[in-house]
Every structure is written in structure tokens, then in C-alpha cells.
Chains A and B, each alone.
Chain A
Amino acid sequence: MEIKVYGSGCKKCVSLADNAKAAVEDLGVDAEIEKVEDMAEIAQAGIMSTPGLGINGDVKVKGRVPNADEIKELIEAEL
């Protein structure tokens, strides 16, 4: 599974990455978390308000920081 955290590195983006990491560890799934900081790539993914969360190429959340439980549900839906 491929998980992407989109954001330029502000505090919200860091907490989203932390929550995603916690969710992956809790579920014990095999997933790689990639941080996307390049603005062009962020925009290309269709994200106008950061941070954003992508799972397997789909943007699931943008403009807010979901907690670990919500991310777990999103990951489980993809399994």
C-alpha cells in the first residue's frame, strides 16, 4: 500500500504524517508513507488546501488533519 502525505512542512502536515504513521503501525499493514513537499506535485494531485492524504493514488483528505482512527478506517477500506 502506498500512502502519501502532501504538505510543505508546516505543523499541520507534520501532525498528519505522525497520525498516518501511528495508524499504519496500529494496523500492522505493509505500507510505505511518502512525504510530498514539492508544490507542483501537490497542485498536480488536485490539492489546493494542505495538508492532504493520498492512499494508493487517490486523494482521500485535504485541508485538514484527520486523526489516527479516521486514517485507520480509510486504510481498512482500501484493503
Chain B
Amino acid sequence: MIKGFADLVVYNWLNFSPETHFGEAVHFFVYDTVKIMLLLSVMIFVISIIRSFFQPERVKKLLSGKKLFVGNTIASFLGVVSPFCSCSTVPIFIGFVESGVPLGVTFSFLITSPIVNEIALVLLYSIFGWQIATLYLVSGVTVGIVGGIVIEYLGLEDYVEEYVYQIEMEEEEIEAMTWEDRIDYAKHQVKDIVGRIWKFVLAGIAIGGLIHGYVPTGALANYAGADNPFAVFVGVLFGIPLYSNAVGTIPIVESLMNKGVAVGTALSFMMATVALSVPQMVILRKVLKPKLIGIFIGIVGVSIIGVGYLFNIVI
């Protein structure tokens, strides 16, 4: 139905020819814009309803007193569904540590939360199918679990800024939400998130459209196909400065994959755009000493690269 609409607009109304590169690029742009914007709005709404049950205060209660492994696993899964924007990272970190959640369990939450972006997850599902969406989810959660366990074993409590341990938080109440509140919250989230990210999504679709229309199929297979061991590295390096929008990178990834980029390389690239960003590190510096930030970057970086290789080998 969306494809029919795009055909009508691009080929009939705007009179572009499907035979030309430019016509093909414009068609990709219109089709993807309509499809992704519709999907995004519906998905953000549904996801926000789910998220309204997992406010950070509740997550903290669920995690306090949990042991290693079990705690890491629960934390990593909660990282997927719990809502928080990066400016809340520090208060969440302080809240967890203060209520006795082990450092490694806290990190499992903090690592998975940005890596597995549930909107990206849903878009991956609708564009590439359930296999790739599941891969993305499972590998992101695994990176969070393993990363947290490694940090726990390294015993890095001394590399958290001292003031964090001295804070005593006021006992907070968890706001009771009615269904009406949850629906309001979800509507608000749709407006807020779509309002914030549409520019990135359109830019991503435009770049994707150009690649789609101009790069011949298979052109990238030599450079970024499964056989090139350096492609994953390069993908991660390119991903870091593109911070903030896994969602905006999806149309780019979609068209790159059509041209021969391997799945693992694409996944590593997407994860790097969100998990290893300079602004995130600046925020974490408020609670962590540089050495622990370095270890965090190292663990996440190595895991993401590992995920890339694993999938390039398996698929």
C-alpha cells in the first residue's frame, strides 16, 4: 500500500522515471519516509505504554540486593525496556549504587540501555525480518551481561567518584499511574521523540536513497563483505562520531546491506553509533574516574567488534 502510494507520487505526479538513478533514489526516499514515520509513531506509542511500567525508581527496587549473574541478566533486560534519556544517566547511576545495586549489575543496565534501542529493534524487525532483529536484541543484551560481570570481577569500586558513596537519597515514592496517565505519557512520547529525531531520520533516508540509486549492487561486497576482517573495525570507527541516532542510521544500513555490506558489520556500526559516544562519556565522567571510563569503552568496544565478527562468521 505504501509502495503504491510512493509509485503514484514519484512516477505519476512528479513524473520521474523508474529507469533513472535519480528517479529510483527519489522513490526510495518517499517510500522510506512514509513507511518509517508511520512505523515510528505507532511503535513509540506501544513501547511507551510498556515503558510506563518500568520507571527507573521501580527498576532500582527490582535490582537492589540481586546477586551477580542473575542480577546482571535482569539488569540487562531491564535496560531494554526502561525509559531514560542520557541526561538522567548520572542520577540513575547514583540511585543504583546508593541503594546497594552492585557496580557490575549497574553497568549491565547502563551498557544495554543505549545499545538496544527498542525503536531501532522494531524498525530492524519490519525492514529485515525477525532473525536480524533477534540477533540485535540477543547480542546487545549479552554484551551488557558480560560487560557488567567483567567490571564486577575487576573490582573497580575505587574508580567511582567518592561523593557518589556519600549521597543518601530521599526515599522516593513510585508515582501510581492510571491507564489514562499511561496513554497520555505515550502520546507525549510520540510527539516528543518524533519531533526530535525526524531530521536525523530524513537525513538518513536521503543518504540511503542516494546509495540505493547510485551505488551498484554488490559494489561494497569486496570492502565491507563478510570476507574482509577489517570492515567491522572500520564500521565501529565510523559509527562513533555519528552519535545519537540508531534510528537515523537504519535507512543507511538498509541500503548498504543491499549493496553487499555484511550483517555483522552493519550491526557493529549501529551499536557503535549509540553505545560509544563522546557526549555519553562526558556525562559519565561526573561519576566515574577516567580509568573506569577507559575500561568501559574498552569492554563495550571489544564486545561490539566481537558481535560483528561472530555474525559475519555465522551468517
What is the CA–CA distance of A13 and B88 in the complex, to the nearest angstrom?
11
Q: How many A-B residue pairs have CB under 8 A?
A: 71
Are B172 and A64 touching (Cβ within 8 A)? no
Which stretch from B8-16, B90-98, B151-159, B299-307 is at the chain A interface?
Answer: B90-98
Q: Which residues of A lie under 8 Å from residue B95 when comparing CB positions?
A: 43, 48
CB of B87 closer than 8 Å to a CB of A: yes
Interface of A is mostly: loop
Are A50 and B91 touching (Cβ within 8 A)? yes
Contact of B57 among A9, A44, A48, A50 (CB under 8 A): A48
Are B92 and A49 touching (Cβ within 8 A)? yes
Are B87 and A7 touching (Cβ within 8 A)? yes
Contact of A44 among B56, B84, B170 (CB under 8 A): B170
Most chain-A CB neighbours within 10 Å: which of B57, B171, B287? B57
Which residue of chain B is the closest to A42 with respect to CB atoms?
Answer: B91
What is the CA–CA distance of A39 and B85 in the complex, to the nearest angstrom?
15
Most chain-A CB neighbours within 10 Å: which of B57, B85, B88, B163? B88
Are A39 and B55 touching (Cβ within 8 A)? no
Most chain-B CB neighbours within 10 Å: which of A8, A39, A64? A39
Interface of B is mostly: helix
Q: Which residues of A lie under 8 Å from residue B88 when comparing CB positions?
A: 48-50, 63
Contact of B286 among A39, A59, A62 (CB under 8 A): A39
CB of A12 closer than 8 Å to a CB of B: yes
Q: Which residues of B lie under 8 Å from residue A45 when comparing CB positions?
A: 169-170
What is the CA–CA distance of A11 and B179 in the complex, to the nearest angstrom?
27
Are B167 and A43 touching (Cβ within 8 A)? yes
List CB contacts (< 8 Å) of A1-58 with chain B: 7-10, 12-13, 39-40, 42-50
Are A48 and B87 touching (Cβ within 8 A)? no
What is the CA–CA distance of A57 and B163 in the complex, to the nearest angstrom?
22
Q: Which residues of B lie under 8 Å from residue A49 when comparing CB positions?
A: 55-56, 83-85, 88, 91-92
Are A13 and B92 touching (Cβ within 8 A)? no
CB of B291 closer than 8 Å to a CB of A: no
Q: A48-B57, A48-B60 are in contact. Are A43 and B94 (CB under 8 A)?
A: yes
Q: Which residues of A lie under 8 Å from residue B168 when comparing CB positions?
A: 44
Contact of A10 among B55, B87, B94, B286 (CB under 8 A): B87
Q: Which residues of B lie under 8 Å from residue A59 when comparing CB positions?
A: 170, 172
Are B55 and A46 touching (Cβ within 8 A)? no
Q: Which residues of A lie under 8 Å from residue B170 when comparing CB positions?
A: 44-46, 59
CB of B67 closer than 8 Å to a CB of A: no
Q: Which residues of A lie under 8 Å from residue B84 when comparing CB positions?
A: 48-49, 63
Q: 14 A-B Cβ contacts within 8 A?
A: A8-B87, A8-B90, A10-B85, A40-B163, A42-B90, A43-B95, A43-B98, A43-B169, A44-B167, A46-B170, A47-B91, A48-B56, A48-B84, A50-B88
A interface, CB within 8 angstroms of B:
7-10, 12-13, 39-40, 42-50, 59, 62-64
Which 9 A/B pairs are nearest by Cβ-Cβ distance?
A46-B172, A43-B94, A46-B170, A10-B87, A48-B56, A48-B95, A39-B90, A49-B88, A43-B91
